Amino acid sequence: MNKVLGIFGLLLFVCLFTTVMSDSFVSEYNLYNITRWSALFGILSIGVAFVIITGGIDLSIGSVVGLVACLLPMLVTEYDVAPWAALLIVMVIAGALGLLHGILITRLDLQPFVVTLCGLLFYRGFARWMTDDGTLGFGQEYDDGLRLLAIGKPCSWATMLLIGGLGLVIWGIWKAIRPSSTHVDPASTEARAARLRSWSLPVIGAFLALVGASRFFLGWELGEGTVLLQAGGYQIRSLGIQVPADAVDVPSRVMRVAGTILFIPLVLWFLIAAGRGNLKRVRWPVAAVCVSLVLLALCVWNLVPLYDRAAADDLWQVGVLRVSGNALKSGLMAVVFLVVGASIGAIGWLLSAAASASPICKALIPALIASGVLMLLGQTNFAATMVPMPVLFLILIAIAASIFLNQTIYGRYLFALGRNEEAARYSGIDTKRMIVVAYVLCALAAGLGGILFSLDVNSVQPSGFGNFYELYAIAAAVLGGCSLRGGEGNVLGVVIGAAVMRVLYNAINILGISTKLEFAIIGLVILAGAMVDVVVKRVIASRAAKADAAQVANR
């Protein structure tokens, strides 16, 4: 869980920094694009996460994406295959490629790196030869049909919040009322914290549902709904709910107000509980949060307007220094960068210090983060933004993958064999078959990704389409907490990791940083993430050792 919070902090940091520096980041158009691209890469990342959990690697993802992206328009436009059949064919091909990888790796004992590297080269070369390196696309013909799979907008985020919130309520209540098998004194702090934790889920859910439902407060009517997919004379349409135009902004307002109302008492409760738990341990983090937030406010009110006013070719007098507008802009950006980073870091410090000081605090963290994020999101018109189709796919896949990994025996087998294949085999697990399954799932995800990417872009260059996507996916999975040693990883982290990659890319564009630096910046951020992870682990370990030593000395 800590890893997920860490990567979430990174996401928050990049978002916050970009928002502070530029208004256009939170524009409806930009939010729509970020969520769409994050979802597309998230699908690939979840796929490769399965393989990484087994301790393997799949380098062929980008080429599978490219191959599928070439095959689909070819089948549909040149060979006049029915769209649904074409989809089926390319998915079967992708699955077969995964099966091939898995069989080569398990039966011939080839190394995953080698097998999938050869896949990377072969599929790319094959796709280029097959298409004669010509650009492919679907033209305008499928804009109201097949392409809606990728570019459709089924509903707004408010509707998603309503559905997701209700789901969370039901799931949370079901979890909370299930008899727990642990025998803890019901009056103890631990038991109170456990109750708090289990009930915070449905409360968050109810809150989300409330925000979503507010959209329909001013009334609604059923209409046609947009066409999501047209196949063989049948249509799949989104919920045809129409709301009055002035209702569109209501959820954002509700989010902002209700988020704030919920957030402030939660913060107070959290701080009081932390102070009662161990005041000494939390006083410095609290001070750090206060100072950094004051600095952040100063940045927003003073530096950012200055940044906006500064033209690149002017000369500026800052104190005794005369600087060029460019240097001033870069300097201001660096200062804001540091201050935002310090704020997020201080909040993370406070959360971890408070969590170790009091179990109540630990139980409050999810609700605290949820309400805080809603309060921030309420400042934008995120709730009115439309949901891209790929996000729906991603949500379904993420839920399915999460259930598979955490609730089924096969998921458990993947983790076990990823960390120690021999021990898993000695326990009667068919490790080879499970590894094959992982590669097939990865290739299927790549296949789906390829379909969506090609439908979305509508112009596929066989030589470059999907290049480096495997590395983006692997980086997202690793950022999200998968260990390349295997046996570790979780879906939520991977999805957030994919979002970080896209937001970073987007931020570079929006902030006007040279796109030539794109790879360098992404590389640096991943490196920094990995370094922080290691450093934090060491600090925690050494602190535990010191506390332990003190305990021994007191004995």
Dihedral (CA of 309, 315, 318, 319) sign: negative
Quick one: which of 188, 302, 379, 427 contacts another protein (CB under 8 A)?
427
Question: Any idea what DSSP says for residue 388?
Answer: P
Q: Under the criterion CB under 8 A, does residue 242 sit at the interface with another protein?
A: no
DSSP string of 468-533?
THHHHHHHHHHHTT--TTSS---HHHHHHHHHHHHHHHHHHHHTT--GGGHHHHHHHHHHHHHHHH
232, burial (CB in 10 Å: exposed 0-12, middle 13-18, buried 19+): exposed
Q: Under the criterion CB under 8 A, does residue 222 sit at the interface with another protein?
A: no
Q: Which of residues 147-186 bind another protein (CB under 8 A)?
A: 181
Q: Under the criterion CB under 8 A, does residue 415 sit at the interface with another protein?
A: yes
What minimum distance in Å lies between the beta carbon of 53 and another protein?
A: 13
The amino acid sitting at 460 is: V
What minimum distance in Å lies between the beta carbon of 181 and another protein?
A: 6
Q: Under the criterion CB under 8 A, does residue 188 sit at the interface with another protein?
A: no
What minimum distance in Å lies between the beta carbon of 401 and another protein?
A: 15
Nearer to another protein, 424 or 503 (CB): 424
Question: Are residues 509 and 37 in contact, defined by beta-carbon separation less than 8 angstroms?
Answer: no
Radius of gyration of the chain (CA): 25
Residues with Cβ within 8 Å of 471's Cβ and at least 6 positions away in sequence, in order, are 62
Quick one: which of 135, 302, 408, 515 contacts another protein (CB under 8 A)?
408
Stretch that binds another protein, among 309-317, 367-375, 516-524, 539-547 (CB under 8 A): 539-547
Stretch that binds another protein, among 273-281, 286-294, 296-304, 544-552 (CB under 8 A): 544-552
Q: How many residues does the chain have?
A: 555
Q: Which of residues 472-491 bind another protein (CB under 8 A)?
A: 487
DSSP string of 73-114?
HIIIIIS---HHHHHHHHHHHHHHHHHHHHHHHHHS---HHH
174/168 Cα distance (integer angstroms): 10
What minimum distance in Å lies between the beta carbon of 184 and another protein?
A: 12
Quick one: which of 295, 392, 424, 510 contacts another protein (CB under 8 A)?
424
Quick one: which of 43, 354, 389, 429 contacts another protein (CB under 8 A)?
429
69, burial (CB in 10 Å: exposed 0-12, middle 13-18, buried 19+): buried
Residue 141: half-sphere exposure toward Cβ, Cα within 13 Å: 8
Q: Under the criterion CB under 8 A, does residue 420 sit at the interface with another protein?
A: yes
Quick one: which of 360, 416, 460, 504 contacts another protein (CB under 8 A)?
416
Nearer to another protein, 322 or 538 (CB): 538
Stretch that binds another protein, among 134-142, 426-434, 453-461, 500-508 (CB under 8 A): 426-434
Q: Under the criterion CB under 8 A, does residue 187 sit at the interface with another protein?
A: no
3-state secondary structure of 234: strand
Please give the residue ranges that form the binding site for another protein (CB under 8 A).
Answer: 181, 407-410, 412-413, 415-416, 419-420, 422-430, 487, 541, 544-545, 548-549, 552
